[in-house]
Amino acid sequence: MTFRISFDVDILEYDRNELQNWNAGQRDDCSDTFCRHLSGTAGFGEYIVGRHFETKGYEWIHHDFDLFGTNVEGKYPKSDSILMEYFGEQKLHSMRNLHKTFFPFREHRRHPLETPDLLIFKRSAQAISEVRFAESKRLDTRDKLNNRQALGLFLIEAVLKCPVQLFVIRERKSTKDVPKKLEFSFIKPALF
């Protein structure tokens, strides 16, 4: 059995001095604590995507959330309360257990699903009114979406009915082409 999924690719651009400032540790405008404390240029792509959503009235969390039951329960109380409020206990619990179904698709004993880079959310009247997720890939580091990430994004959209976006981050004057769509094929191994 084979199934195919595809993702539209959104492009965000940055100026070279922004990357240099990030690398030099000038990160006062980064609202995410985890991202702000990464070393070198790590987290820069996630910062660019998070900043993009901040201009639209969203808040964001990089890394510190669990959708697929891959962390100790309660490890991320802030994001857990956001996810619980928005999806409800039953839906979140189901999502965190769904990954077991996908073990036949796993690669080299790795977890079959990978959580996206960013949890993006909006508050209105002190309640969570919207949740979405985003994955960030930097063109300059040749970072690519892997099968575990693709499957995770697909499940978020299909099961949680939640928007997901894939962003490619590139320098403003870059002439490298970026595909408008990425496609993945999954072949389920024979179980008998």
Report pLDDT digits (tens) over 64-122.
999 988 888 889 999 999 999 999 999 998 898 877 776 665 565 666 788 999 999 99
Into how many domains does the chain fold? 1
177 in a structural domain: yes
- Helix ranges, 58-99 (H): 77-87, 89-98
The average pLDDT across 160-184 equals 89
Higher pLDDT, 11 or 5: 11
Using a 10 angstrom Cβ sphere, with 0-12 exposed, 13-18 middle and 19 or more buried, the burial of residue 189 is exposed
192 in a structural domain: no
155 in a structural domain: yes
**pLDDT tens-digit readout, 36-67:** 999 999 999 999 999 999 999 999 999 999 99
pTM of the model: 0.89
Structure-token pair, residue 184: 């993945």
Domain with 160 in it: 2-187
**The pLDDT of residue 12 is above 70:** yes
CA 49 to CA 124: how far, in whole Å? Answer: 21
**pLDDT tens-digit readout, 110-160:** 667 889 999 999 999 889 999 999 999 999 998 888 888 998 898 899 889
50 in a structural domain: yes
